[in-house]
Amino acid sequence: MRDLPLATILLVLAVIALLRPFLGLLGWTWVTYFSPTQFTWGWSRRIPGGEVIAIPTLLGSLLTQERRMPPITRETVLLIILWLWFAVTTLNVLHSPLLAHHSLDTLNQMLQVSKTLLMTFIALMLLIDAKKFRSWFLVTIACFVVLCVKDVTWLVLTGGQFQVYGPGRSMIGDNNDFALAVNICLPMIYYLAQTETSRPIRWALWASLPFAAVAVVLTYSRGGLLGLAAAMLAIALQSKRKIRGLSLILGLALLAFLVAPGKWIERMETLRTAAQTDSSAKSRFFAWKFSTLLALDHPVLGGGFETFTPEMYDRYGMGGQEIVHGPHSIYFQMLAEHGFPGLMIFVTLLGSCMLTCQRIKRRCRRYDPGSWLIPYCNMVTASLCAYAVSGAFLGRAYFVMFYQLVATTILLTAFARTELAAWRLDRASVELELPSPHPAPLSV
């Protein structure tokens, strides 16, 4: 019964995307994060919802007048360089006999990553004002809030004996991926709740915050727990009341251990002995060793997308006894697939976004301490901290939410330039209108 209504909704969104590409971007965000096709059971599960909306959005963005060229910033240049480097390493796979066995997988992954990056640049073109910028994040948050409230409510009713997962066969279907996504989203909820002017939306955001934190805990993801701690620590350190924030984190951590199911406690206690006893942790060290050996053998171009194959593991004498696993880390993923240059560009992009947000905050505080840009900068910093920590244990270097944060940094830079120029102009106008401190004497 759900197939026809969903197909109709996607068709309507596709038409709207062609006429109003900004709304198409919001629709693509909803389909990408919420994965509505995974909530049906029939033929609609095979509908490529992202492409159905992305293609008319792309066409509409070329026709609409409500767009601009993507702002040119340091992050824009780094993002373009990273995309070009992906193309270089992909060409290397296609022309290398050693890597030819996974060339088809490499091409498919390059296509998927290019779609993400293309929509990132479409967002840079269409988000031309603060209102549209805010709407983009409200849609993003709404996707995860609904999932978190649904899953946490169900788990509370069942005693918390099961794990939280995202929609099946989606980019957040795995419990670790879902924990990563919610950790990135949690600062978005917190900072937008602080700045939201609509009272119902503000209350809904504050009410959803504990659901998001509990959802991360109930994924039973150890990397997710570390990412949650990183996000909360970043929020506390950026607040004006740091001691109170840190005390709240410690209190929540204690509460989690007091009320959490015994199964969860047992899972988290393995953090101390994971390297020796846990098969999942052992597979991570195994994958990281393979990544290092491959990078030392191919330091410049790496092995290309999807290079974690049985053939490559066998080449380094690591096949047979062990199961072949993915990279288990955004950093080792970039190192193995795109060499040391790819890793350097990626880490530089990540660090550049954090530094840019700090610079925008400092400049805005000189002119307007209450600027709406400051909470967004804090949001990006905290979300990137969560991504950097959780991502150290997950092979999600091409995660859509990371590139949304990069686009956010670029847009914040563009908005800050406009705001600062306006503030300077206003100040100059005021100074010109001030009376002279030495007025001319009155004529007799």
Res 441: pLDDT: 47
Is 107 found in the same domain as 143?
no
- Domain stop point among 209, 237, 272: 272
337 and 411 fall within a common domain? yes
Q: What is the C-alpha separation between 402 and 397, in angstroms, rounded?
A: 8
Looking at 32, 67, 102, which one is the last position of a domain? 67
In a domain, 360, yes or no: yes
**CA neighbours within 13 Å on the CB side: how many for 182?**
38
Check: CB of residue 33 under 8 Å from CB of residue 75. Answer: no
> In this structure, are 217 and 296 located in the same domain?
no
| Helix residue ranges per DSSP H, 298-399 | 310-315, 330-367, 373-390
As given in the structure block, the two tokens for residue 182 are 């919610």
- Exposed / middle / buried, residue 409 (Cβ in 10 Å: 0-12, 13-18, 19+): buried
Picking from 89, 106, 82, the residue whose alpha carbon sits closest to that of residue 309 is 106
pLDDT of amino acid 423: 81
Please report which residue ranges of 196-240 form alpha helices under DSSP H: 199-217, 222-238
443 within a domain of the structure (yes/no): no
Residues 234 and 161 in one domain: yes
Q: What is the dihedral of CA 329, 330, 331, 333, to 10 degrees?
A: 80
Number of H-type helices and E-type strands within the chain: 17, 0
pLDDT of residue 442: 39
Domain membership flag for residue 379: no
Query: Do residues 280 and 408 share a domain?
Result: yes
Asked if residue 346 is part of any domain, the answer here is yes
Query: What's residue 189's pLDDT?
Result: 94
**pLDDT, one tens digit for every residue, the chain (444 residues):** 678 888 999 999 999 999 999 999 999 999 999 999 888 888 888 888 889 999 999 999 999 999 999 999 999 999 999 999 999 999 999 999 999 999 999 999 999 999 999 999 999 999 999 999 999 999 999 999 999 999 888 877 776 667 888 888 788 888 899 999 999 999 999 999 988 889 999 999 999 988 888 888 888 888 888 898 899 889 888 887 777 667 766 666 666 666 566 666 666 666 565 555 556 667 788 889 999 999 999 999 999 999 999 889 888 877 654 567 788 899 999 999 999 999 999 999 999 999 999 999 999 988 888 899 999 999 999 999 999 999 998 889 999 999 999 999 999 999 999 888 878 777 776 666 655 455 544 333
Confirm whether 105 is domain-assigned: yes
pLDDT of residue 225: 86
The answer to whether the Cα torsion of 84, 86, 89, 91 is positive or negative is negative
281 and 267 in one domain? no
Residue 199 resides in a domain: yes
| 433 located within any domain | no
Domain containing residue 174? 136-272
CA nearest 398: which of 85, 101, 167, 125? Answer: 85
Clarify whether residues 250 and 358 are in a common domain.
no
Q: Is residue 335 part of a domain?
A: yes
Q: Are 290 and 354 part of one and the same domain?
A: yes
Tell me, yes or no, whether 232 and 109 share the same domain: no
Q: Residue 443 has what pLDDT?
A: 39
Among 20, 36, 67, the domain boundary falls at: 67
In this predicted structure, what is the pLDDT of residue 131? Answer: 94
SS3 182: helix
Co-location of 143 and 119 in the same domain: no
Rg of the Cα atoms in the chain: 24
Whose tokens are 């509908």? That residue is 47
Work out how many domains the chain is built from and give that number.
3
Is there a single domain that holds both residue 395 and residue 319?
Answer: yes
For the chain, the 3-state helix, strand and coil shares in percent, each to the nearest 5, are 75, 0, 25
Long-range (24+ apart) CB contacts under 8 A made by 76-79 are: 76/124, 76/410, 78/345, 78/348, 78/349, 78/352, 79/117, 79/120, 79/349, 79/403, 79/406, 79/410
198 alpha-carbon distance from chain centroid: 25
Structure-block tokens of residue 313: 């593991």
326 is written with which tokens?
A: 């993915």
Same domain, 417 and 278: yes
Task: Provide the residue type at 92 as one letter.
Answer: N
Q: Cβ(307)–Cβ(294) under 8 Å? A: yes
